[in-house]
Every structure is written in structure tokens, then in C-alpha cells.
Amino acid sequence: MATPSPEDPHANGPNGPKGRMEPTRPATLVIAALATTALAWIVISNFWNLLPTLPWLPPLTLIGLAIFEGIEAYSTRNRILRKEGAGPLHPLVIARYAVLGKASALVAALFGGIYVGMASWLLTQRGVLQKVSENLPQALLGVAASIVLIAAALWLERACRVPPSDRDKDLPRQGRKDGADRAPDDQIA
């Protein structure tokens, strides 16, 4: 196999292979949560009288997802490390779990921002409006459920990482100059 041309979209870039999934950055989650917090505050303060009572189902769904992802993170990590009693796991399933963890963390940050915006506005209106006490428990549970889901999603994403092999431990992480990252049949142009 020849070395890919510079125009090849699958060629390695300066920071590693293009199209490679990177771990979720905390800054991404914080920015998403802050943006939705501000948006939720604006919406709830302008349309409070038009909004129905907050339902219990979304926070409970977030908790259910967090439980599922926590169990899968524990199981996946044990299977990747080949612990006793843990069967093998197909690599595509691991990739899907990694994507699920990444997506769930972002969705939980968005929901968390919405619930933080609602809860903070409701706390400022406590004693002023009557229906605040009907909505505050759901908003606070939504904040807690979002935090738990973010933690479980990041744990699942981290559990999908494959530990380096003994061969990889002796090599630099990227930019190998000695050709150790090439297959034996690769040709250097």
C-alpha cells in the first residue's frame, strides 16, 4: 500500500488521523449548559403564564439513561480489560457505546442548562408567584439527573478506551519517525 497523497481526506493531519473521534471536552459541555441556561431563563421569564406545569418524565428518563450508561460503562470496561467472567465485546459495539456516551453528555448538558435556568428563575420568584412550588421539585430533580447523566456518559466514553498494548508503550504517541506506525508492506514515496 502506498503512502496516501496530501489530498487524501483519510490521510493523517498534524494532530493525528482526520475523522478521529476525540474525547468530550468539558468546555464544550460548560458552554452548551451556559447557553441553554440563559435561553431557558429568558423564555421562562417572558412566557411563565403560558407554560404548563413541568412534567416528571424527562428527569426520570435522564436518571434511567444514567443508570443504563453506568451499568454499560462498568461492563464494557471489564470486557475490554478481559476480566474474569466478562465475555468478549464486538469492537463495533464499543464504538457505538463511545458515540452514545459522547452524545449523552452533550444532551445532558443541554437539559441541565435548561433545568438550571428554570430552577434559578423559579428560586428568585419563590414567594412572589403561587405556581413556583408546583414546578420547583421537577426543575431541581432535572438538574440533579442531568449531572448524574453527564457523569455516567463521560464514564461510558472513557470505559470504551482500549488500553495501549505492550508494543505501543515503547513508542511515542504520534509522529513516529522511525516508521513503526507503518505496515511491513507500506512503501515510502
Instruction: Look at residue 171 in the predicted model and tell me its pLDDT.
Output: 60
Distance CA 99, CA 69 (A): 12
Backbone angles phi, psi at 21, to 5 degrees: -80, 125
pTM of the model: 0.77
Q: Looking only at Cα atoms, what is the longest distance across the chain?
A: 75
Amino acid identity for residue 77 in this structure: R
Distance CA 112, CA 34 (A): 9
Instruction: Look at residue 186 in the predicted model and tell me its pLDDT.
Output: 44
User: What is the DSSP annotation of 30-67?
Assistant: HHHHHHHHHHHHHHHHHHGGGPPPPPSHHHHHHHHHHH
pLDDT along the chain (189 residues), means of 10: 51 60 92 97 90 93 97 92 83 92 97 96 87 91 98 95 70 54 48
Instruction: Look at residue 87 in the predicted model and tell me its pLDDT.
Output: 84
Distance CA 74, CA 137 (A): 30
